[in-house]
Amino acid sequence: MSIHFRKLNIAPGYTSYRVLANIFLLYFIAFSLSSQTKDEKYFKINKNLSVFNSILRELDAYYVDTLDYDKVVLTGINSMLSSLDPYTVYMPEEMNDDLKMMTTGEYAGIGALIMQKDGRVVISEPYEGMPAQKNGLLAGDVILEVDGVSATGKTTAQVSEMLKGKNGTEITIKIERWNEKKPIVKKFIRENIQFNPVTYYAVLGNGVGYLMLNDFTDKAALEFKNAVNDMMKTGQIKSLIVDVRNNPGGLVDEAVKIMGYFVPKGTSIVSTKGRNFETDRTYKTPSDPVFPEMKLAVMVNRGSASASEILAGALQDLDRGIVIGERTFGKGLVQSIRPVGYGGNIKVTMAKYYTPSGRCVQALDYSHRNEDGSVGRIPDSLTTAFKTANGRIVRDGGGVLPDSVTTDSRKLNIAYYILMQNHYFDYATRYAQKHKSIASPDKFSLTDAEFNDFVNYLVNEKKFTYTTQTENYFKQLAEVAEFEGFDQTAKAEFDALKARLMPDVEKNIHDNRKEIEEMLTVEIIQRYYFQKGQVQYMLKDDTDLKVATDFLKNNSRYNQVLKKQG
């Protein structure tokens, strides 16, 4: 404990022992209050633990049905933690593989994404070069059995655990495939699955390189550096676009290392501050820069969070590059993994992080909830202005606001409802069975005949229909109007509006052909060229990429944003 006293003016005649006595009294009062506060805290902890223990024992003794103790206690733990923030969670022993996956991007299994579809578990995407893909499993395959155990009625999480196992162990999977009369059995070996956080990189021309960073696992910085070095060697790039759109974050150290490739050694990138002084720390770049002269642009969107925001925020605060896209997610909270016994861990929010200018990007205030338990965004009126290295104004309290803001102009139209009903997925499964190969992602496109075949598949075979959100709200309005007696007085208007809101499926498909065709094409390309092919195709008409490229090609415009001379 430290106690600070203002300077005392001692009047004549006041003896020194009197002053010492007063100081001692003040210290004693402060110490007593502190001890009392600690005693009260520990009393409340012990009291509530005792109550919880007593309730569990009473339930065990008298509850009418047999208790599932693990489930009851886990429900209590999860309910307690959910009242804090979404990132403080309990991870029991059986989730240790998930924990390893979060921090390292590695696990042992078959290397495929799975999903629930029509009550069954289906392979949604086998990863390129991994056991599932190498042994002929395809997107759309229905998993019937794993090692002789039926997958029927099981959740995605349960089947995922069945697919995982030790590296080198054999696995037998029975699948059902579209247009095949009999089930297919695949037998192969599980492997360590290591995901490269750099999903895709390429030289775009004119000395500009592009790199998509998918997460910040423990090898992100190394893979980042290797990719940039490769582009410098093959394409002599002088500028780099880093794409962290929809990157949820990861390890802070990896973001700091990546920034260290571009700024001097010892530069402060991010600091953390919490209630416990042990969490207070400043992260500085650990080595001399590898690419000190390279121009930078980082692309972000509302899905860019945590370590992605550290990277974008530090880049902006240090005026080392420009940020392009949408305002980021706004997650300025830091988590730490702490063991809690019996193989379990708690991922607990311990601090907030602050970018070099001193701002925190946290957008939601979880410590002050509304009466209904919801949380609100920090209003703009309560945000604070900070300055970048060159004196530009940036603000806290709501993610990172890009230097050049772009918006997604797409609407929630019929294309979205087709996606939600898995029709792109199912049609692509059929398409891939009928076509051995397709053109490269940058050249492939659907013909008119193929698009019309998809329309026929939707309208005539699947009898596709959908209910818009507007229709749902209209029904609610009509119910309220009937309750209040307006349904008859405004009947003509209600009937006219209802007629206008009823979707004309075939017309809406053709009206929104561009977006529907794009989403179907992405799904088809994935079957042949996997994730890299999807990225390659989507970049063809990427607005953010065009904006970023234009900035990097124009020195005066680039420098003007950063307020640099020359």
Give the active site residues: 306, 317, 331
**Which pair of structure tokens corresponds to residue 404?**
């050049």
In angstroms, the CA 148 to CA 161 distance is 14
- Which two structure tokens, joined as six digits, stand for 322? 């420009």
Rounded to an integer, what distance in angstroms lies between the CA atom of residue 112 and that of residue 157? 13
The rounded Cα 203 to chain-centroid distance in angstroms is 27
The β-bridge relationship of strands 142-146 and 170-176 is antiparallel
Kind and range of the H or E run holding 337: strand 333-341
Retrieve residue 391's tokens: 């004196």
Written in H, E and C, the secondary structure of 181-228 is CCCEEEEEECEEEECCCEEEEEEEECCEEEEEECCECCCHHHHHHHHH
162 neighbors 147 (Cβ within 8 angstroms): yes
Cα-trace Rg, the chain: 29
CB neighbour class for 548 (10 Å; exposed up to 12, middle 13-18, buried from 19): buried
Number of other CB atoms surrounding residue 347 within 10 Å: 18
Please say whether the beta carbons of 331 and 356 come within 8 A: no
Token pair listed for 269: 């990138």
Please spell the DSSP secondary structure of 105-140, one letter per residue: SEEEE--EEEEEETTEEEEEEEPTTSHHHHTT--TT
Task: Tell me if 262 sits within 8 A of 291, measured CB to CB.
Answer: yes
